[in-house]
Copies of this chain bind each other. A is one copy, B any other.
Amino acid sequence: MTVQQENYVALEPLFNPKSVAILGASENKNKLGYLQVKALLDGGFAGDIYPINPRSEKIEGLLCYPSLAEVKTTIDLAIFCLSADRVKQGLLECAENGIKAAVVFASGFSETGEEGLKEQQLISDLAKEHGIRIIGPNCVGLVNTTNGLVATFSPGLTNVPLNDKREVGFVTQSGAFGVLTYIAAAQKGLSFNYFVSVGNEMETEFSDVVEYMVHDPKTKVISGYLEGAKNPQKLRQLAKEALAKNKPMVIMKTGRSAAGSRAAASHTGSLAGSDQIYDAFFKQTGIVRANDFEDIIAFSKLFQTGKIPKGRNTVIVTSSGGRGINEADRCESYGLNIHPLSFTVKKAIEKNIPSFASASNPVDLTAAAAVTNPELFLEPLRVLVDDPDTDIIIFSEFPMHWTYDEPLIKEFIDICKNTDKFILITTFQLEGMSIPKSTPELVANGIPVITGDLNPIRALAKFVEYGERYEQQKQKNDVGIQPQQAKKDITPLVQYKTTLSEAEASEVLALYDIPTTQRMVATTAQEAVQHANSMGYPVALKIDSPDIPHKTEANAIKLNVKNDQEVMDAFDEIDRNARAYDANAVINGVSIQEMLPAGVEVIVGVTNDPGFGPVIMFGLGGIFVEVFRDISFRVAPLTRDDALEMIEEIKGYAILKGARGKAAVDIEAIVDVLLKVSALVTDHGDHIDELDINPLIVYEDGIKAADAMLVVRETEVQASVGVGG
Contact residues in B for A430 (Cβ distance below 8 Å): 180, 183-184, 187
Contact residues in B for A326 (Cβ distance below 8 Å): 177, 254, 292
Q: Is A331 in contact with B257, judged by CB distance below 8 angstroms? A: yes
Q: Is A112 in contact with B176, judged by CB distance below 8 angstroms? A: no
**Contacts A187-B430, A329-B257, A431-B187; A177 near B320 (Cβ below 8 A):** yes
Q: Is A333 in contact with B256, judged by CB distance below 8 angstroms? A: yes
Contact residues in B for A321 (Cβ distance below 8 Å): 174, 176-177
Residue A332 at the chain B interface, CB threshold 8 Å? yes
Copy number in the complex reads 2
Contact residues in B for A322 (Cβ distance below 8 Å): 172-178, 225, 227, 254
Please name the residue on chain B nearest to A176 by beta carbon.
B320
Per-residue interface assignment for chain A, residues 162 to 185, with 1 indicating a CB less than 8 Å from any chain B CB and 0 otherwise: 000000000011111110100110
Residue A107 at the chain B interface, CB threshold 8 Å? yes
Q: Is A628 in contact with B626, judged by CB distance below 8 angstroms? A: no
Per-residue interface assignment for chain A, residues 95 to 133, with 1 indicating a CB less than 8 Å from any chain B CB and 0 otherwise: 000000000000110011100000000000000000000
| Interface positions of A (Cβ within 8 A of B) | 107-108, 111-113, 172-178, 180, 183-184, 187, 225, 227, 254-258, 292, 319-323, 325-326, 328-329, 331-333, 338, 355-356, 367, 370, 428-431, 433, 453, 622-623, 626-628, 630, 651-652, 654-655, 659-660
Q: Is B660 in contact with A626, judged by CB distance below 8 angstroms? A: yes
Would you mind naming 19 contact pairs between A and B with Cβ atoms under 8 Å apart? A112-B356, A174-B321, A174-B323, A175-B322, A176-B321, A180-B428, A183-B433, A187-B431, A254-B322, A254-B329, A255-B325, A257-B328, A257-B329, A257-B331, A257-B333, A623-B659, A623-B660, A626-B660, A627-B654
In angstroms, how far is the closest chain B Cβ from the Cβ of A428? 5
Known contacts A172-B322, A176-B370, A257-B328; 6 additional CB pairs below 8 A are: A176-B320, A176-B322, A180-B323, A227-B322, A227-B325, A628-B651
Q: Is A356 in contact with B107, judged by CB distance below 8 angstroms? A: yes
Which residue of the partner chain, among B254, B626, B659, contacts A659 with CB atoms under 8 Å? B626
Please name the residue on chain B nearest to A109 by beta carbon.
B356
Interface centre among A180, A227, A256 (most CB of B within 10 A): A180
Which residue of the partner chain, among B178, B622, B651, contacts A627 with CB atoms under 8 Å? B651
Contact residues in B for A333 (Cβ distance below 8 Å): 256-257
Q: Is A257 in contact with B184, judged by CB distance below 8 angstroms? A: no
Contact residues in B for A180 (Cβ distance below 8 Å): 320, 323, 428, 430
In angstroms, how far is the closest chain B Cβ from the Cβ of A366? 8
Contact residues in B for A655 (Cβ distance below 8 Å): 623, 627
- Separation of A331 and B254 alpha carbons in the complex (Å): 12
Q: Is A323 in contact with B660, judged by CB distance below 8 angstroms? A: no
Contact residues in B for A187 (Cβ distance below 8 Å): 430-431
Contact residues in B for A659 (Cβ distance below 8 Å): 623, 626-627
In angstroms, how far is the closest chain B Cβ from the Cβ of A600? 11
Contact residues in B for A652 (Cβ distance below 8 Å): 627-628
Please name the residue on chain B nearest to A338 by beta carbon.
B257
Contact residues in B for A325 (Cβ distance below 8 Å): 174, 227, 254-255, 258
